[in-house]
């Protein structure tokens, strides 16, 4: 049972029950069944898992093979009697083995489709330390003890070693998650030990921690994050953690999967290369999950400037170079060579400038084209800035964008590059007739868009795009009066107020045409932008601050009723915001965002807390709302990414209960997002699936170490653990 905090006056809305129907409805769409490819296998492997204690319920059976075009893994959970069924198994020979909480990994047994009486011998762990080796990262991270609340504000290197910038324990944890967890899991084997540092001969664990945060491809970022804590104190905190782990301290045991959690089937495919940083994947159009049925799944490989493709029918994968408009040799890369050599790759420039498009996030449109945020040039065109005849530039000129837009059309095999004045980061498609695609600008307070219907018709990238600055209607007259028209240094209360919240994410509303974004500006805000009927002059912004107990919104999504959901990565909540509960929407009292406490409901996720705190150790990079019941858990079921807990997390808002769909192998399932596709609405659980990928910056941190490749993960939820 999870913990549930409700803000005053907020109301929950019931999500459909957690039972999987044979053919759940697809919202209001008129879904047409795509023909099922003949290559999809129907063969299965089944059997039973027993240990010396008897049948083992709620443990994972893992089957893996290298005999297909790319390495392939299938994972299921045993039922109450220890029985299992591995469905839809391609013809191959598999190593089949058992992993579970309380167990040591079993020896593999050979199996093939058609083997229905496989007997697997589970091995009971001989010690708590042995059992804990397969616990998720957040359980191990929960042993870390942050500085106590009375140590803040920090007093600097001549005081307690905590940076004077650190005003509270909450801010310290915010930095831990937004800076450190931002790139990779914390608590997995490589981060909770200093074993691979021994050969460097540091005089103390504290010195080893300071040194390790300076190494490799992300050394500059890590060192900067460590300095923000105050490296003197942070080195003591982290060294205390790894010392206690080395001495044999273990976290509490996670619960084994129960109920619906045992119905999940996880399929993994290798894709990319051993140095890939694949930020996100995409399988379909968010507004119509039947688009691209049975088709390839796409990911962007940021450091390598490539589109990575996985065919789940053929079990095959390949990559395509994403071009730049300028000569790639003349386009700068944001990835410098390592300042200090990596323990794994030495001085190799892993993400060098050979392909500098630096894609970040992909999305599919209704035509099945893969849209991306990607870099196409360096120099900002003149029409974006002051003196331009472009109406958006005249209203709010833009002088810099570090990433623009592109799309790949599988029908033609060609890329199309689109220049944008605004910088791009994440993107999301609206459900409007223009199929507008919106972008957040991480580097500035802008919501930008491309009218894809206009662009397809004319090819005019200037005419097809626009952007809104953030201006709050603080004078309460229902319209915007440009605040920057006032004389310098004068405050004019009759004018409105420009605000500047850099948005990490963006989502258009399917109900009223507004666009929402999440800002990590501490402690965190969500921002609503309404373009009005004549943007940019009619763009109006509303700001809402997260409640006191929450902090650090990152992801953002919206349900079919226009209710916003945001993952609070720092405080480990999934937050619901219903604007309909707000009594006031504009005027001077709305500027600080505290005017609609009634709109918020916060749901704390499961898992252990950091030592000495009431803050969970999980990290939620993003979140997603299953508007169309792809999962079978009910339309508008909200999900959070368990980026530090190897799991997809599904919430029932009525009860506050969570479902944890774990990926137990290979450990280190760090995902940044997810989506869901319906291949055949008439095929029950076999015709629908959720997708996510291992999106860590440092793929060599996952189980298997250097040489391991990233994985695409597919989640199917059966009606019971033995369905095939």
pLDDT band with cut points at 50, 70 and 90 for residue 408:
very high
pLDDT attached to residue 234: 95
Q: Are strands 118-121 and 45-51 parallel, antiparallel or unpaired?
A: parallel
pLDDT attached to residue 21: 35
- Which residue ranges form the domains of the chain, and what is each CATH number? 144-246 (no CATH), 259-339+358-717 (2.130.10.10)
CA 642/CA 661 separation, integer angstroms: 9
Instruction: Please determine, for residue 343, whether its predicted confidence score (pLDDT) is greater than 90.
Output: no
CA 463/CA 420 separation, integer angstroms: 11
Under 8 Å between Cβ of 395 and 537: yes
More confident site: 269 or 490: 269
Over residues 462-474, mean pLDDT: 96
pLDDT tens string 481-518:
888 766 665 667 788 999 999 999 999 999 999 999 99
Q: Report the largest interatomic distance among the alpha carbons of the chain, rounded to a whole angstrom.
A: 82
pLDDT attached to residue 514: 97
Nearest to 374 by CA among 434, 338, 333: 333
Nearest to 474 by CA among 590, 596, 595: 590
pLDDT tens string 588-633:
999 999 999 999 999 999 999 999 999 999 999 999 999 999 999 9
pLDDT tens string 632-679:
999 999 999 999 999 999 999 999 999 999 999 999 999 999 999 999
CA 359/CA 376 separation, integer angstroms: 10
pLDDT attached to residue 146: 97
pLDDT attached to residue 35: 80
CA 654/CA 657 separation, integer angstroms: 8
pLDDT attached to residue 26: 38
Under 8 Å between Cβ of 533 and 585: no
pLDDT attached to residue 543: 98
More confident site: 23 or 700: 700
Q: Is the pTM of this model over 0.75?
A: yes
Over residues 533-548, mean pLDDT: 96
Residue tagged 């992300």 (tokens): 218
pLDDT tens string 16-55:
333 333 333 333 344 456 788 988 899 999 999 999 999 9
pLDDT attached to residue 199: 52
CA 196/CA 208 separation, integer angstroms: 10
Lowest mean pLDDT among 48-52, 185-189, 335-339, 556-560: 335-339
Reported as half-sphere exposure (CB side, CA atoms, 13 A), residue 171 has a value of: 16
Under 8 Å between Cβ of 367 and 361: no
Instruction: Please determine, for residue 3, whether its predicted confidence score (pLDDT) is greater than 60.
Output: no
User: What are the start-end ranges of the E strands in 105-188?
Assistant: 109-111, 118-121, 123-124
Helix (H) or strand (E) segment spanning residue 436: strand 436-440
Query: 275 Cβ partners below 8 Å, 6+ apart?
Result: 303, 304, 345, 350, 351, 699, 700
User: Dihedrals φ, ψ of 231, to 5°?
Assistant: -60, -30
pLDDT attached to residue 2: 35
Lowest mean pLDDT among 26-40, 124-138, 238-252, 429-443: 26-40
Over residues 367-388, mean pLDDT: 96
pLDDT attached to residue 494: 80
CA 564/CA 516 separation, integer angstroms: 8
Query: 278 Cβ partners below 8 Å, 6+ apart?
Result: 271, 272, 299, 300, 301, 302, 308, 693, 694, 695, 710
- Joined together, the tokens standing for residue 48 give 């039973």
Q: What is the mean pLDDT of the chain?
A: 92
């Amino acid at each position: 049972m999870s913990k549930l905090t409700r803000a005053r006056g907020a109301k929950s809305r019931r999500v459909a029950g957690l039972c999987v129907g044979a053919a759940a409805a697809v919202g209001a769409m008129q879904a047409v069944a795509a023909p099922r490819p003949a290559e999809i296998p129907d063969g299965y492997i089944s059997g039973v898992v027993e240990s010396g204690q008897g049948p083992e319920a709620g443990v994972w059976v893992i089957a893996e093979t290298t005999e297909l075009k790319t390495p392939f893994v299938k994972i299921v959970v045993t039922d109450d009697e220890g029985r299992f069924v591995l469905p839809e198994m391609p013809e191959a020979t598999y190593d089949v083995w058992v992993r579970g909480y309380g167990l040591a990994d079993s020896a593999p047994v050979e199996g093939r489709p058609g083997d229905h009486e496989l007997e697997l011998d589970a091995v009971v762990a001989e010690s708590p330390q042995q059992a804990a080796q397969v616990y998720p990262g957040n359980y191990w991270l929960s042993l870390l003890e942050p500085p106590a609340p009375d140590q803040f504000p920090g007093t600097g290197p001549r005081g307690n070693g905590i940076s004077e910038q650190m005003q509270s324990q909450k801010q310290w944890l915010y930095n831990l998650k937004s800076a450190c967890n931002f790139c990779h899991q914390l608590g997995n084997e490589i981060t909770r030990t200093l074993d691979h540092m021994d050969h460097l001969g540091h005089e103390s664990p504290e010195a080893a921690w300071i040194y390790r945060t300076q190494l490799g491809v992300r050394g500059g970022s890590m060192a900067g994050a460590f300095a923000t804590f105050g490296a003197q104190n942070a080195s003591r905190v982290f060294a205390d953690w790894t010392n206690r782990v080395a001495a044999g301290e273990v976290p509490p045991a996670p619960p084994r999967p129960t109920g619906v959690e045992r119905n999940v089937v996880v399929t993994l495919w290798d894709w990319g290369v051993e140095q890939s940083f694949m930020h996100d994947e995409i399988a379909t159009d968010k507004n119509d999950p039947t688009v691209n049925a049975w088709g390839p799944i796409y990911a962007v490989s940021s450091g390598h400037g490539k589109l990575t493709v996985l065919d789940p029918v053929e079990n095959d994968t390949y990559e395509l170079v994403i071009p730049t408009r300028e000569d790639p040799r003349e386009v700068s890369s944001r990835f410098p060579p390592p300042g200090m050599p990596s323990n794994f790759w030495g001085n190799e420039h892993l993400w060098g400038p050979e392909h500098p498009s630096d894609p970040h996030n992909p999305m599919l449109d209704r035509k099945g084209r893969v849209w991306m945020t990607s870099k196409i040039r360096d120099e900002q065109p003149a029409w974006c800035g002051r003196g331009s005849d472009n109406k958006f530039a005249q209203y709010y000129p833009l002088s810099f964008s570090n990433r623009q837009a592109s799309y790949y059309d599988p029908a033609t095999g060609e890329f199309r590059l689109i220049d944008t004045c605004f910088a791009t980061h994440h993107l999301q498609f609206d459900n409007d007739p223009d199929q507008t695609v919106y972008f957040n600008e991480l580097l500035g307070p802008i919501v930008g868009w491309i009218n894809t219907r206009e662009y397809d018709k004319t090819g005019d990238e200037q005419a097809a795009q626009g952007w809104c600055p953030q201006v709050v209607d603080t004078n309460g007259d229902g319209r915007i009066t440009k605040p920057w028209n006032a004389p310098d240094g004068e405050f004019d209360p009759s004018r409105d107020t420009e605000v500047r919240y850099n948005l990490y994410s963006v989502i258009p509303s399917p109900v009223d045409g507004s666009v929402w974004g999440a800002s990590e500006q501490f402690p965190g805000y969500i921002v609503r932008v309404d373009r009005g009927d004549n943007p940019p002059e009619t763009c109006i912004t509303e700001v809402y601050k997260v409640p006191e107990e929450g902090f650090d919104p990152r992801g953002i999504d919206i349900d079919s009723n226009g209710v916003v959901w945001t993952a609070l990565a720092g405080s480990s909540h999934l937050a619901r915001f219903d604007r309909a509960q707000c009594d006031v929407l504009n005027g001077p009292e709305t500027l600080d965002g505290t005017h609609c406490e009634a709109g918020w409901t916060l749901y704390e996720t499961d898992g252990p807390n950091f030592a000495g705190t009431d803050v969970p150790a999980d990290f939620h990079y993003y979140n997603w709302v299953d508007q169309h019941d792809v999962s079978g858990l009910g339309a508008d079921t909200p999900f959070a990414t368990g980026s530090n807990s190897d799991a997809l997390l599904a919430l029932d808002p009525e009860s506050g209960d969570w479902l944890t769909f774990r990926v137990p192998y290979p450990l280190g399932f760090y995902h940044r997002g997810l989506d869901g596709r319906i291949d055949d609405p008439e095929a029950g659980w076999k015709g629908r699936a959720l997708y996510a990928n291992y999106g860590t910056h440092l793929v060599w941190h996952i189980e298997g170490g250097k040489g391991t490749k990233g994985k695409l993960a597919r989640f199917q939820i059966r009606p019971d653990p033995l369905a095939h």
